[in-house]
Amino acid sequence: DPDQQQRSIDALSEDITRLKAQVERLQAENRELSSRNFQLQRRNAELEALLAKDSHNSSRPPSTDHPAVKRTRSLRRPSGKRAGGQLGHPGHTRPLVAHPSRVIRHRAARCHRCQSSLVAAPVLHHERRQVIEIVPQRLRVTEHRGEVRRCTSCGARTKAEFPKEVRAAVQYGTSVQARALYFLQYQLLPYARVGEVMRDLFGCAISPGTIFSQVGTCAEELIETELKIKRRLRRSPVIHADETGLRVEGKCHYVHVTSNSRLTHYACDVRRGRGAMEEINILPRYRGTIVHDGWSAYSFYPQCRHALCGAHLLRELTCFAELSEQSKRWAEPLLKLLLEIKREVEEVRAVNLPPLSRHRDKTFFEPHAACFNCAR
Residue 170 Rama label (left phi>0; alpha psi -120 to 50; beta) = beta
Confidence at residue 338, expressed as pLDDT on a 0 to 100 scale:
87
| Angle at alpha carbon of residue 283, lines to 290 and 300, rounded to 5° | 85
The pLDDT of residue 62 = 67
pLDDT per residue as tens digits for the range 71-97: 555 556 666 666 666 666 666 678 999
pLDDT of residue 89: 63
Give every CB contact of residue 144 below 8 A, 6+ residues apart in sequence: 162, 163, 166
Contact 285, 234 (CB under 8 A): yes
pLDDT under 50 in the chain at which residues? none
Residues near 214 by beta carbon (within 8 Å), at least 6 away in sequence: 172, 177, 180, 181
CB-facing half-sphere around the CA of 337: CA atoms within 13 A: 19
pLDDT value at position 358?
72
Asked if residue 57 lies in contact with residue 319, where contact means CB atoms within 8 angstroms, the answer is yes
In whole angstroms, give the CA distance from residue 133 to residue 102. Answer: 11
**88-120 CB burial, b ≥16 within 10 A, e <16:** eeeeeeeeeeeeeeeeeeeeeeeeeeeeeeeee
Mean pLDDT score across all residues of the chain: 87
Answering whether pTM is above 0.85, one says: no
Torsion from C-alpha of 334, 336, 341, 346, nearest 10 degrees: 150
Percentage of the chain lying above the pLDDT 90 cut: 58
Q: Nearest 5°: CA angle at 311, between 64 and 279?
A: 80
221 HSE (CA, 13 A, CB side): 10
Q: What is the pLDDT of residue 243?
A: 93
SS3 assignment, position 255: strand
- For 98, residues 6+ apart whose C-beta sits below 8 A from its C-beta are none
Q: Report long-range pairs for 326-329 (Cβ below 8 Å, ≥24 apart).
A: 327/375, 329/374
Nearest of 176, 244, 234 to residue 205 by alpha carbon: 176
